[in-house]
Amino acid sequence: MYLSDKDFRSLLSELNIECHNSAHPFSADEQIQPCSIDLRLSNVFWETRRGATIDLRKSAPLILQLRRYFRRTTLRPDEYVTLKPGRMLIASTYEKFSVPVSCAAKIEGRSSFGRLGLSVHCTTDFANPGYRGNFPLILINHSPTPIRLFPFIPICQLILVKLTDSPARRYGDSVLQSKYMDDDGGPSYWWRDKRIRALQETFSAGNIELTLQDQLLNQIGIQEPEIIDRFERFVSSRSAANLGSAQQTLDTFAESEERLRRRDRYWRGFLRIFFGVAAAVSIKLATAPPFGIWHYLAWAITLMSIWPCIRSHTVPEIPYYGEKEHNSYRRKEVVR
């Protein structure tokens, strides 16, 4: 059975609702409805990067920092985000709350936004007893027009359902290996599911040993998305037998990264020299009529080299995990 507003008020201490912004506190009088609590939209949004392919077959190190597939946006109170037709945003409730052990919880969208074509969850409307966190919201625009969203609007409703009996184990129990306790409402942690890991071990031939996975996860640390993408391809291209230890793997990866860095710098330098030579030749030819096909060809080459040269000056060097970064990591390990 659904709990009423009276029940919600009596359970406020167990719900333990937290709001991190003092300018937007929780108000029981305004937010508690006859059998639900209105929850507001946070100011953090995650959008899927175009062109990304999330492979559920990959094991832990190969989906290092899955969040690199998503672009995070944090809004100020006066800013908004535009959700285009057919697109999805991952958000969360502004309120962080706990589910009492005597209840299960459900999140439902509000009619006012449903009538605009906005859904607030995609099979993510349920929370077990004992769960605590900022509940994830999967915002999808089903309408033909863009919808602008801003922080702190009352986006959904929290419903509590009374259990017939107290559960033997609550969410967060060590045996259950619950993935989303104290969740921030961001992208999925699907690879932490013990059943998925078991399937990966069963069906992924040559899969990397879990010990090495954990070592790689700890040692590669927090890196830029481009580095993690290249590291994923690097590990995927080698069999488990050829990887060696975590340290050997990172040493080899750092060497390959350093080769890419040198190649990038040589190419940038070549473009700048080439444009300088081409420009000098073009100027010289402009003072030597009559003009023929070779004059026009030289000028065309010079014009075509302008944009690559400008990019070589203005586009920053992509991040690498080369010798400098790897040596820096090693020094940190020594200090530890």
- Please report whether residue 92 resides in a domain: yes
Average pLDDT over residues 127-146: 94
- 290 prior amide bond cis, ω within 30: yes
Q: Indicate the burial class of 217 (C-beta count within 10 angstroms; 0-12, 13-18, 19 or more).
A: middle
For the ranges 76-80, 90-94, 170-174, 321-325, the lowest mean pLDDT is seen at 321-325
- Same-domain status, 9 and 156: yes
Average pLDDT over residues 205-231: 60
Residues 274 and 154 in one domain: no
- List the domain range (segments joined by +) for residue 246: 208-336
Ranges 62-66, 121-125, 227-231, most confident: 121-125
pLDDT of residue 16: 95
What span, in angstroms and rounded, lies between the C-alpha atoms of 310 and 275? Answer: 10
Residue 262 lies inside a defined structural domain of this protein: yes
pTM over 0.75: no
Domain count for the chain: 2
For residue range 241-279, list pLDDT tens digits in order.
666 676 777 788 888 888 888 888 888 888 888 888 888
Give domain status of residue 223, yes or no.
yes
**Cross-strand partners of 137:** 91
Q: In what order do the strands lie in the sheet with 103-109?
A: 32-33, 36-40, 154-162, 103-109, 126-127
